[in-house]
Amino acid sequence: MIASEAPLSQDHDAATRDDAEFAAHFEHRFTTIDGVQMHYVIGGTGPQPIVLLHGFPETWYSWRPLMTELLPGHTVIAIDLPGLGDSTGDIPRHDKAFLARYVHLLLVRLGYPSGVQLVAHDFGGGIAFALVTGWRDQFSGLLLMDFPVAGGSLSYAEIKPLSFHFAFHSQEPLFEQLVAGRERTYLEYFYRANSPATSEPVPAHAVDEFVRAYSRRGVLHHGSRYYQAWPEDEVDNRERMGVPLTIPVHLLAQAPLFDTFLEALRGAAPAAGGTPMRCGHWMQHEAGEQVVAEIKRFYGYPG
């Protein structure tokens, strides 16, 4: 394994310093890809790599409750997306095809040019879709969680009215100007707004970690640009759908959105299956046991 670099983000381990289980199985690592120092957490010695991609506004830490359960037979890698979490550097473009290249090259650098099992939530799903359609030989499966793939039966114009934040996060620089310095107020509201049936959809310790990460210089800016690039992603996705995916693909989505999201995904993966979830958007926190069971079933974990 390549040596880890000295971190540019000095508080990257704030949430794990006193986590004995984390220390027993995982470590923080840093590798620079095209001028962006990518932060990732890695653990396990199993021959099968499984890669976890988070969404907005979260970090790799959204996967922390699940990661130990995914260790058997696997090397588990949870990555902070380019520009988010504790990944640090200037990013010239935010379309997901471009951002996916950072993840692709990181995995190659780590020695995983093929056979990677991929799990992605929210905007991690946009990058995951670009990965599996852009580097088809690198991935052996995709489990996508609560993310609408625009470009086929579903357009961004249809996605945008689903929640206020699709429009608000696209307002540059207003979004940053209003939220900067008020990260906790906004994130706590945002987590509740996207899981209104649950009083605390994201636990307090995770909120603390996400507030720390999204208070870092530039992270809100990059996050808003993820949203601004969605129309470009739609065009890219439509072109990529011209060659159907042949790897296994599985969708987890909130029950009211499941049929719409699955139909959209089948524009790229005609054989995709899925499971409607009886929870809100923050599935790793709200339905962690079911998510782990779905991942293990889909990827054929033993036992």
The C-alpha angle with vertex 280 and arms to 276 and 285, in degrees rounded to 5, equals: 105
Amino acid of residue 301 = Y
Rounded to 5, what percent of the chain is helix, strand, coil?
A: 45, 15, 40
To the nearest whole percent, how much of the chain has pLDDT over 70?
A: 100
The arithmetic mean of pLDDT across residues 165-180, rounded, is 94
Mean pLDDT of the chain: 97
User: Does the pLDDT at position 1 exceed 90?
Assistant: no
Q: Which residue has the tokens 């969680």?
A: 145
The arithmetic mean of pLDDT across residues 123-139, rounded, is 98
Which secondary structure element, helix H or strand E, spans residue 78, and what is its range?
strand 74-79
Q: What is the pLDDT of residue 21?
A: 97
Strand order in the sheet with 26-33: 26-33, 36-43, 74-79, 48-53, 116-121, 139-145, 249-254, 273-277
User: Does the pLDDT at position 303 exceed 90?
Assistant: no
Give the dihedral of Cα atoms 245, 247, 250, 251; nearest 10 deg. -30
User: CB of 250 within 8 A of CB of 294?
Assistant: yes
Q: What is the pLDDT of residue 23?
A: 98
**85: closest CA among 112, 55, 115?**
55
pTM more than 0.85: yes
CATH 3.40.50.1820 fits 20-297, yes or no: yes
What is the SS3 assignment for 241? coil
The neighbour count for residue 156, using CB atoms within 10 Å, is 18
| Beta-bridge partner residues of 281 | none
The arithmetic mean of pLDDT across residues 55-60, rounded, is 98
**pLDDT tens readout for residues 75-117:** 999 999 999 999 999 999 999 999 999 999 999 999 999 999 9
User: Does the pLDDT at position 4 exceed 90?
Assistant: yes
**283: closest CA among 130, 144, 183, 168?**
144
Q: What is the pLDDT of residue 172?
A: 87
Q: Where do the domains of the chain lie?
A: 20-297
| Beta-bridge partner residues of 75 | 49
